[in-house]
Chains A and B, each alone.
Chain A
């Protein structure tokens, strides 16, 4: 199966890069000038109990990038993503999101940072007893968004993910792909600059997976940085984006326009 990525400009209302070449990569000169969204400096993560999940991780991800995070099970992909939403704190080194050192963040400042990051997981994490619309609105309600702004924002993101017609259905009545699109809508409702997806297609069959990837690419075209952990070799290889490979907690490969497996 092949897939032509959406061209910049088609949805690129807020594309900060604007000057991408046709293959989706960015000329080096332009790339260097773009603001880093995520910076890992010499990061080590040891879980309580002694398991070292990440070591010597140095990584910079710039605004507007679409990055695949690959590697065998247990390599540390989820750990790396958890550090970004400060679900865990690095035992050593620095993790910066939008220039903010997450280790230095005070407890009460954490929610504000999380609101700027949309998160998507393999298991969707939807509230089962509430309809699609309420699931998306939930993210705004529990963060104290002004009541009047909620309905327009929810309608807008539901339209973006193509779920306007399903707004009143319960998650159990939806297909896996639709449930994941609901989760994506919820991730988008705070208008984040960064989307973190941990195996978002892990529970979906290939055709539906492509649907979800298409959607994420489209969101990326809107200027949102996307970092996605995946085991889906076909998708990664077909899209030729930046690939960061982890093995046993180390970054063993970081290539632009790369395939799932090493190609030399």
Chain B
């Protein structure tokens, strides 16, 4: 077993360099395709995170009665926080509401006339952020029934508009990614098939002298894996080189998104290595198979 693996690895290595032109062409194709795939993957991840960000901006706001007591507020907060669809809930007191209002006026450069008021007209409120905005109805129901709540803002139309847009964009992103995935799959498998075909003569001789299928197949599979691994490593190297300038460029944008750079890097590394190795092996396997089945 070990001699056989050693033999196959050695022959794979020799095969790669003996037909270096073909092997390097296959590796170059592999690199282009992996770059294409990871590029689309990164864009798709950013898009998904962006949509999530937009969705999380959707909030249910319940305005409290003037007479609401602190225990009533605490009870309502505890009740919504216990719901699985709720991401977070926050109490905004009358004073905080006034501060926010003043800040927003200042941000828009409008004159602040609130100083002339003798009392604070703004109500206290509970703001609830949702995991999934389309689940707002149950939260609204709970808040409406809670003692101390005056009224709950109607956000039905807003939610419907946001979820329609995000669903369309999300679906389009997935469809495009799948199309790119298929393209990458066929181009890589066909390139490897071409590399194997250029050695049909060698396979034919092996069959004639009585080589078993395993002795013919495994060197090619290892060679495909070598092309995949080399392609993946070079691809990751290129991505690492352009990652720093690219991320500093997008930092302002990315930092507001619920996207962890570390997990994105890990996902892309797994994607590139897995796709490279997997398609290298699968491509060789199916290509050699067509010569062995006879």
Interface of A toward B, CB cutoff 8 Å: 85, 87, 107-108, 111-117, 119, 125, 127, 129, 138-139, 141-144, 186, 190
Contacts and interface: CB of A to CB of B under 8 A. Distances in A.
Interface string B226-267: 000000000000000000000000000000000000000000
B205 interface: yes
A151 B261 CA distance: 57
Contacts of A119: 208-209
Interface in B154-203: 201-202
B212 interface: yes
B102 interface: no
B57 interface: no
B18 A190 contact: no
Given A125-B201, A129-B18, A142-B216, A85 B211 contact: no
Contacts of A141: 7, 11
A116 B18 CA distance: 29
B209 A143 contact: yes
Select the residue from B211, B215, B216, B294 with max chain A CB neighbours within 10 A. Answer: B211
Nearest to A114: B210
A108 B209 contact: no
B151 interface: no
Given A87-B294, A129-B18, A144 B4 contact: yes
B29 to A, nearest CB: 23
A125 B216 contact: no
Contacts of A139: 209-210
A144 B209 contact: no
Contact of A114 (B11, B202, B208): B208
A116 B294 CA distance: 20
Interface residues of B, number: 19
B206 interface: yes
Interface of B: 4, 7, 11, 18, 201-202, 204-213, 215-216, 294
Contact of A144 (B18, B202, B204, B215): B215
Contact of B209 (A87, A129, A142): A142
A185 B176 CA distance: 57
Contacts of A125: 201, 204-205, 208
Contact of A143 (B11, B201, B204, B215): B215
A186 B4 contact: no
Given A125-B204, A141-B7, A114 B294 contact: no
Nearest to A130: B18
Contacts of A115: 209-210
Given A142-B215, A144-B4, A85 B208 contact: yes
A116 B208 CA distance: 11
Given A87-B294, A129-B18, A144 B205 contact: no
B212 to A, nearest CB: 4
Contacts of A108: 212-213
Contacts of A116: 210
A158 to B, nearest CB: 16
Given A112-B210, A114-B207, A116-B210, 19 more contacts: A85-B208, A108-B213, A111-B212, A113-B210, A114-B210, A115-B210, A119-B208, A119-B209, A125-B204, A127-B205, A129-B18, A139-B210, A141-B7, A142-B216, A143-B209, A143-B210, A143-B212, A144-B4, A144-B7
Nearest to B211: A142
Nearest to A88: B294
A195 to B, nearest CB: 13
Contacts of A144: 4, 7, 212, 215
A108 B211 CA distance: 10
A190 B294 CA distance: 23
Contacts of A142: 206, 209, 211, 215-216
26 contacts: A107-B213, A108-B212, A108-B213, A111-B211, A111-B212, A114-B209, A115-B209, A115-B210, A116-B210, A119-B209, A127-B205, A138-B205, A138-B209, A139-B210, A141-B11, A142-B206, A142-B209, A142-B211, A142-B216, A143-B210, A143-B212, A143-B215, A144-B4, A144-B7, A144-B215, A190-B210
B211 A127 contact: no
Contacts of B11: 141
Contacts of A112: 210
